[in-house]
Structure 1
Amino acid sequence: MARQATAEKRPRRERGSINPDDIIKGAFELAEEVGIDNLSMPLLGKHLGVGVTSIYWYFRKKDDLLNAMTDRALRQYVFATPYVEAKDWRETLRNHARSMRKTFLGNPILCDLILIRSALSPRTARLGVQEVEKAIASLTEAGLTADDAFDTYSAVSVHVRGSVVLQRLREKNRATAEGPSDIDEAMAIDSDSTPLLALVTEKGHHLGAADDNNFEFGLECILDHAGRLIDEAKSTPAKKSARKR
């Protein structure tokens, strides 16, 4: 069942004893208990033991507070994500994707702030763009064109984010206990009308589920395609040289 939006009231702080860092830290603590959707300024005031006006002094509305939380969460996420390296692009890009997914799946608050809400300050947005630039530069050094490097990294990013968001929505649907949590649970599969589906689902395959098997299959397809593009680029100069002879 979903947790109710309640917070234990702490001893009242002295006026002026709270600062933005305290508020952001408290907001993360409270979000761990009640979720981002149920986070509110009055509830946060009770959690911190201050009047709600003390919070509004620094954050005029909830969106401002969520933006500050997102900035902090993204800095933590970028720091924890391994870089893509040209000399071993396939393995490092694979690890990069797996690490992104693991980080978000392990922290629902991070997922809600960065992937679902997606509101970033200009400074944090620039930081994110710079990290993407580094990854694309490594892929071009590995042999992809700038266009193909961009499309490859973008495809990996969409694949990771889509997988995580689907899993997060599944968890939220299950928490409400209102019907099936995703398309996989809603489908009626029997061996008479859908024998192939019945065969593979009995082996543990899931249609449309953001599980490890589907994630890894999709990731390898993207990496395989990028590998073919690099191989084609390497063979093109040799073909041109042979024709000149």
Structure 2
Amino acid sequence: MAKQPTAEKRQRRERGSINPDDIIAGAFELAEQVGIDNLSMPLLGKHLGVGVTSIYWYFRRKDDLLNAMTDRALRQYAFATPYVESRDWRETLSNHARTMRATFLGNPILCDLILIRSALSPRAAELGVLEVEKAIASLVEAGLSPEDAFDTYSAVSVHVRGSVVLQRLHQKAEDGTALEDTMVVDADRTPLLAQVSAAGHQIIAADDTNFDYTLNCILDNAQRRIRAS
């Protein structure tokens, strides 16, 4: 049988000594140990050294707690992500995309909360919209139409998220086997695939090479549109 997730037991707190910030901070600590999927109110109570009713006093459901965690994660993430600047839009948008990807890949909890978990609180959704508005405004100032600016930023965002989620789902897979790991390249039947595979290229992989190739294609298209206008 699979071992059930456990939490370190702390010295029990006095009644009324816990607050929402402590609960959210403790939830992040516990999620680092057991993951978002296995995070539960009873486990969190044990981790914090409080009765589970003390947590339910502030967060009636796990989803309420996850919403609060997502709000906090988005605020920290938005602060850490570089802005897109109109004067050097290509470089700053590229840095923006790479920083987003590195941030999510380096923090599985952030990835699970924001990318894999589809539900966002109204506050988190509003924060995301404001960040997108800033990026689109910079691209319009750089010379793109509002429609092209939106499509460009949207394509970059989808590319980043898709790349990260593919890698995260690969990490979460029980057997650790991804589609690209099961594909057999026969040099006689597929000589071109064998040639590029031997050079280090991976098929259907969310690696740096594939990520940069697609990102540059999106940026090249935006640059052509700016020149044309």
Once the 2 structures are TM-superposed, how far is the Cα of residue 119 of structure 1 from its aligned partner? 2.3
Structure 1 gap segments, 5+ residues each: 234-245
Tell me, yes or no, if the aligned pair for 1:3 and 1:33 is still in contact at 8 Å: no
Structure 2 distance, partners of 1:130, 1:143, is: 20
Once the 2 structures are TM-superposed, how far is the Cα of residue 164 of structure 1 from its aligned partner? 0.4
State the partner residue of 2:50: 50
Structure 2 distance, partners of 1:170, 1:201, is: 20
- Counterpart AA for 1:125: A
2:223 is the counterpart of 1:227: yes
2:208 is the counterpart of 1:212: yes
- Counterpart AA for 1:187: M
Structure 1 distance, partners of 2:79, 2:67, is: 18
Larger radius of gyration: 1
RMSD over aligned Cα atoms: 1.2
C-alpha deviations, 1:113-137, integer Å up to 9, x for none? Answer: 0001032221221111111111001
- Counterpart AA for 1:217: Y
Question: Kindly tell me: are residues 209 and 47 of structure 1, through their superposed partners in 2, closer, same or farther at Cα, counting changes over 3 Å?
Answer: same
Identity of aligned residues (%): 77
State the partner residue of 2:17: 17
Structure 2 distance, partners of 1:156, 1:89, is: 13
Once the 2 structures are TM-superposed, how far is the Cα of residue 3 of structure 1 from its aligned partner? 7.7
State the partner residue of 2:109: 109
Give the alignment partner of residue 190 of structure 2, picking from 188, 191, 194: 194
Give the alignment partner of residue 181 of structure 1, picking from 177, 183, 206: 177
Once the 2 structures are TM-superposed, how far is the Cα of residue 4 of structure 1 from its aligned partner? 4.5
State the partner residue of 2:145: 145
Once the 2 structures are TM-superposed, how far is the Cα of residue 8 of structure 1 from its aligned partner? 1.1
SS of match in other structure, 2:203: coil
Structure 2 distance, partners of 1:123, 1:8, is: 32
- Counterpart AA for 1:222: I
Tell me, yes or no, if the aligned pair for 1:73 and 1:110 is still in contact at 8 Å: yes
> For this pair of structures, how many residues does the alignment match?
228
State the partner residue of 2:134: 134
Tell me, yes or no, if the aligned pair for 1:10 and 1:49 is still in contact at 8 Å: yes
SS of match in other structure, 2:88: helix
C-alpha deviations, 1:28-79, integer Å up to 9, x for none? Answer: 0000000000000000010001111110010001000000000000001000
How do 1:64-75 residues align onto structure 2 when only pairs under 5 Å count? Answer: 64-75=64-75
Structure 1 stretch 56-65 or stretch 181-190: which is displaced more? 181-190
Once the 2 structures are TM-superposed, how far is the Cα of residue 181 of structure 1 from its aligned partner? 2.2
Tell me, yes or no, if the aligned pair for 1:97 and 1:160 is still in contact at 8 Å: yes
Structure 1 distance, partners of 2:195, 2:172, is: 29
State the partner residue of 1:241: none
Tell me, yes or no, if the aligned pair for 1:70 and 1:120 is still in contact at 8 Å: yes
- Counterpart AA for 1:165: V
Structure 1 distance, partners of 2:66, 2:158, is: 23
Give the alignment's TM-score, normalised by structure 1.
0.91
State the partner residue of 1:240: none
- Counterpart AA for 2:214: G
Once the 2 structures are TM-superposed, how far is the Cα of residue 229 of structure 1 from its aligned partner? 0.4
Give the alignment's TM-score, normalised by structure 2.
0.97
Question: Kindly tell me: are residues 196 and 90 of structure 1, through their superposed partners in 2, closer, same or farther at Cα, counting changes over 3 Å?
Answer: same
SS of match in other structure, 1:86: coil
State the partner residue of 1:236: none
